[in-house]
Amino acid sequence: MSGSIHTGDKSREEPLAAGSEVTFLEAIRQGLMREMDAAEEVFLIGEDIGTYGGAFRLTAGFLDRYGSARVIDTPIAESGFVGCAIGAAMMGMRPVVELQFIDFIACAFNQIVNFAGKNHYRWGQSVPLVVRGPCGGNVHGSAFHSQNPEGYFLHAPGLKIVTPATAEDAFGLIRSAVRDPNPVLFFEHKFLYRRIKGRLPQGEGLVPIGRARLAREGRDLSVITYGAMLHTALEAAEKLAAEEGIDLEVVDLRTLKPLDDETISGSVKKTGRALVLSEEQQTGSVAGEVAARIADSCFAWLDGPVQRFCCPDTPVPYSPPLEEHYLPNVERLCERVKRLASF
């Protein structure tokens, strides 16, 4: 096909078999491919996703497989192509919008919050739209390519927010997001793209939106987290168990809106202590909302204050040493846990 991209790897253009080991990025590719194969109304739209195959190569080969009517390259105009996708969704299509970096979702804030998110409430009009893209730091992307904007949208009615942390969940949740009748924001931490792996499940492998996952059972303290911070929490849990005898329970939220209050409160009532870990500025954060809900529903079970461990209220630094200091890490998380466990 003229103008298409040929990767030299035919597996990049065909669905992989169940049981195949895949990266986090490939899991999202495979989920999108299956949804596009299953329904003609699913299409992709965004900057450089066709001929180039995406900034992170997530859609490489899609133009060859699905054609330019279903893999649509756009100008650098987020407000424009998100608006086009909303209109297509209202007409019965199922658009998946890629933002090259999720930071620039701010350019389409009005369309997402004031239009897509409110249409069902206003007159019962569904908007089956997915807005997805890479978020997060630890890749030295500086202030405009490292943000975690989920807190902005937690306040907006009518939106769902999904943040997978494993390859299996990335596969299952992107498929559930495409099938949802209303807008889903799907935030993919770019640090995970090629650093973690999992296996494609048998069958559809759908993961329900709105359900958290108990990633590690423990008895002494609950760490509630999501995205790349899940792996920080799990590493800290192993370190604390080996060196301090502290047994952490780790809850992976997976979905930030709606939150799974039952799983969160069940864990905290068991352990009696809670720390909410997230890679976002602390003020106005998802972590603050989770902490408030724990205080409301679990006060009688708490043996210490509910704590948050987030980033400072500054832009993400470019300098690698400054970014390392800015982001929560295993060592500082262990110190925070030890202090909370001593109450």
Q: Give residue-wise pLDDT tens across range 122-169.
A: 999 999 999 999 999 999 999 999 999 999 999 999 999 999 999 999
Rounded to an integer, what distance in angstroms lies between the CA atom of residue 65 and that of residue 58? 14
- In this structure, is residue 3 part of a structural domain? no
Tell me if 132 is assigned to some domain: yes
Mean pLDDT of 174-199: 97
45 bridge partner residues? 72, 97
* pLDDT for 47: 97
| pLDDT of res. 14 | 80
The answer to whether residue 7 scores a pLDDT higher than 80 is no
Give yes or no for residue 9 having a pLDDT over 50: no
Closest to 233 measured CA to CA, from 270, 274, 263, 281:
274
Is a pLDDT exceeding 60 seen at residue 6? no
Share of the chain above pLDDT 70, in %: 97
CA torsion, ordered 225, 268, 168, 95, to nearest 10 deg: -60
178 and 240 part of one domain = no
Please give the residue range of the domain that contains residue 257. Answer: 213-341
Tell whether 65 and 133 lie within a shared domain.
yes
244 and 103 belong to one structural domain: no
**With 60 as the cut, is the pLDDT of residue 220 above it?**
yes
Q: What is the mean pLDDT of residues 236-247?
A: 98
| Average pLDDT of the chain to the nearest whole number | 95
Give residue-wise pLDDT tens across range 106-118.
999 999 999 999 9
Tell me if 134 sits within 8 A of 28, measured CB to CB. no
Whether 240 and 95 share a structural domain: no
Percent of the chain with pLDDT over 90: 95
**Are 89 and 125 in the same domain?**
yes
pLDDT at residue number 123: 92
Lowest mean pLDDT among 2-16, 17-31, 291-305, 319-333: 2-16
**Pseudo-torsion of CA 136, 276, 168, 263, nearest 10°?**
-150
pLDDT of 235 strictly over 80 = yes
| 8 pLDDT tier (thresholds 50, 70, 90) | very low
Given the residues 6, 120, 140, 145, the one annotated as active site: 145
Strands 184-189, 221-225: pairing is: unpaired
As a whole number of angstroms, the distance between CA 57 and CA 256 comes to 26
pLDDT digits (tens, 9 = 90+) for 293-328: 999 999 999 999 999 999 999 999 999 999 999 999
Per-residue confidence (pLDDT) for residue 163, from 0 to 100: 98
Residue 180 shares a structural domain with residue 276: no
**What does the pLDDT read at residue 185?**
98
CB 180, CB 193: distance < 8 Å: no
Residues 177, 46 share a domain: yes
So what's the pLDDT on residue 5?
Answer: 34
Q: Which of 199, 222, 247 is the last residue of a domain?
A: 199
Q: Are residues 136 and 243 in the same domain?
A: no
Region of 272 please: left (phi>0), alpha (psi -120 to 50) or beta. Answer: left
pLDDT confidence tier of residue 4, bands split at 50, 70 and 90: very low
Measured distance CA(185)–CA(172) in Å, rounded = 15
Q: Are residues 60 and 188 in the same domain?
A: yes
Q: Are residues 221 and 162 in the same domain?
A: no
| Structural domain total, the chain | 2
250 with 158, same domain: the answer is no
Report the C-alpha gap between 155 and 147 in whole angstroms. 17
Same domain, 52 and 19: yes
* CA-based nearest residue to 225, from 132, 314, 148: 148
- Average pLDDT, stretch 84-91? 97
Residue type, 154: L
Active site residue 231: no
- Strands of the sheet with 221-225, listed across from one edge: 213-216, 248-252, 221-225, 274-281, 307-311
For the entire predicted model, the pTM comes to 0.94
Token pair in block for residue 158: 């009518």
The three-point CA angle 93-72-173 to 5° equals 55
The arithmetic mean of pLDDT across residues 75-92, rounded, is 97
